[in-house]
A = this chain, B = another copy of it.
Amino acid sequence: MKIDYLLKNVAPWLTGDGPKADIVLSSRIRLARNLRDYNFPRRMTRENRRKIFTLVTSGIEHTDSLRDALVVELEGLTDLDRQFLMERHLISRELSPEQQGAVIIGKREVVSLMVNEEDHLRMQVIRSGLSLSVCWEEIDRLDTQLEKHLDYQFSPTLGYLTACPSNVGTGMRASVMIHLPALVLHKQIGKIIQAVGKLGLAVRGINGEGSPASGNIFQISNQSTLGKSEEEILNDLEKIIRKIIIHESNGRRLLLEGQLLRVEDRIYRALGSLKNARLITSEETLDLLSALRMGVDLGVLNKISRSTVNQIFIQSQPAHLQKLAGSALTPEKRDALRASLIQEKLSSGNKPE
């Protein structure tokens, strides 16, 4: 399968660097666009969806970031491959083979573009750390280059038109994946989520809408796409993220000052379990990785790199494991393979002593 090479890829958003990478895992911006003279994908004929696909795939040849990119049509994919791409944050649950969905994956998975999801085009840029402005520059350039060859639905009063009214205007959703173990430990997270909600942002768990906040990881994104420019939306989001980062940093300092032994105990026990378990679920892995990540970020564990933690984070997911094994696995076999993968990563992925 042509997407299999991704399995060995370490996407740049997993390198664990970039600004504030001790707290912010990644930043992502996506833009929704639709082409004039066509219905939205859900109300199109099969033939028109094919036309959209052709228009977009020829359009990308005029862009820097998606020229010669990998084009994957969902119709040819197994369920496992589809789940695999979802786990890599390259496609959404809504991108479906029934609707002739496709995804175009740029070099190193930084830039990608879904065709015939809810909208004709959904492009995204994802990067490590708090990198909203870099993401914006890249996606804005892609959008501008595409716009020269594709005739977007655009209203002078409303902005870009989208299938769901909640995306009309900029069509932009910017989100930050953020690790907040100290705020969770100090039981301040509820208050923070409430405050962030009042400021017009959405807070979600790791796997998007409705998912629980496994591994103390949260996704924070803008709710409204209308009435403000992209730069204003991004500025407002980044300001709030920076405030949350300060709260989390203070929380971590308090932990180090007042409860060092308890924190170390938690971190080393997580390491001990990850290195020694023979069976481990993805849910438990996320929880233990949260402690491990905190250990790396606090300087308690200095032989493990953030990139190792992030690789385990992605590669221990069910579809990744099954792609690795080359076949579908029962949950117990998955838990066993996950355990051995983690052990291998934690011994080979260590920084030199």
Partner-B contacts on A (CB < 8 A): 261-262, 264-265, 268-269, 271-279, 332, 336, 339
Query: Which residues of chain B are near A339, meaning CB under 8 Å?
Result: 265
How many monomers of this chain does the complex have? Answer: 2
In angstroms, Cα B277 to Cα A176, docked, is 33
Closest-by-CB residue of B relative to A343 is B268
In angstroms, Cα B332 to Cα A264, docked, is 14
In angstroms, Cα B336 to Cα A262, docked, is 10
Closest-by-CB residue of B relative to A265 is B278
In angstroms, Cα B269 to Cα A272, docked, is 7
In angstroms, Cα B278 to Cα A269, docked, is 8
Contact across chains for B276 and A272 when beta carbons are under 8 A apart:
yes
Query: Which residues of chain B are near A274, meaning CB under 8 Å?
Result: 272
Evaluate whether A272 and B279 lie within 8 angstroms (CB atoms) in the complex, with A261-B336, A332-B261 already known.
no
Residue in B264, B276, B332, B336 whose beta carbon sits within 8 Å of that of A269 in the complex? B276
Residue in B273, B278, B332, B336 whose beta carbon sits within 8 Å of that of A273 in the complex? B273
Contact across chains for A262 and B279 when beta carbons are under 8 A apart:
yes
How far is the CB of A16 from the nearest CB of chain B, in Å?
Answer: 22
In angstroms, Cα B272 to Cα A274, docked, is 8
Query: Which residues of chain B are near A275, meaning CB under 8 Å?
Result: 272
Query: Which residues of chain B are near A261, meaning CB under 8 Å?
Result: 278-279, 332, 336
Query: Which residues of chain B are near A262, meaning CB under 8 Å?
Result: 278-279
Query: Which residues of chain B are near A278, meaning CB under 8 Å?
Result: 261-262, 264-265, 268-269
Task: List 13 A–B pairs whose Cβ atoms lie within 8 Å, in order of A's numbering.
Answer: A261-B279, A261-B336, A264-B278, A265-B339, A268-B276, A268-B278, A269-B273, A269-B276, A272-B272, A272-B274, A272-B276, A272-B277, A273-B273
Query: Which residues of chain B are near A269, meaning CB under 8 Å?
Result: 272-273, 276-278
How far is the CB of A136 from the nearest CB of chain B, in Å?
Answer: 42
In angstroms, Cα B223 to Cα A346, docked, is 53
Closest-by-CB residue of B relative to A279 is B265
In angstroms, Cα B123 to Cα A276, docked, is 45
Query: Which residues of chain B are near A273, meaning CB under 8 Å?
Result: 269, 272-273
Closest-by-CB residue of B relative to A276 is B272
Give 6 A-B pairs besides A261-B279, A269-B273, A269-B278 with Cβ atoms closer than 8 angstroms: A262-B279, A264-B278, A265-B278, A265-B279, A272-B273, A272-B275
In angstroms, Cα B276 to Cα A273, docked, is 9
How far is the CB of A237 from the nearest CB of chain B, in Å?
Answer: 38
In angstroms, Cα B339 to Cα A269, docked, is 11
Closest-by-CB residue of B relative to A260 is B278
How far is the CB of A276 from the nearest CB of chain B, in Å?
Answer: 3
In angstroms, Cα B291 to Cα A273, docked, is 14
In angstroms, Cα B279 to Cα A279, docked, is 24
Closest-by-CB residue of B relative to A268 is B276
Closest-by-CB residue of B relative to A266 is B278
Q: Residue among A262, A269, A275, A279 with the most chain B CB within 10 A?
A: A269
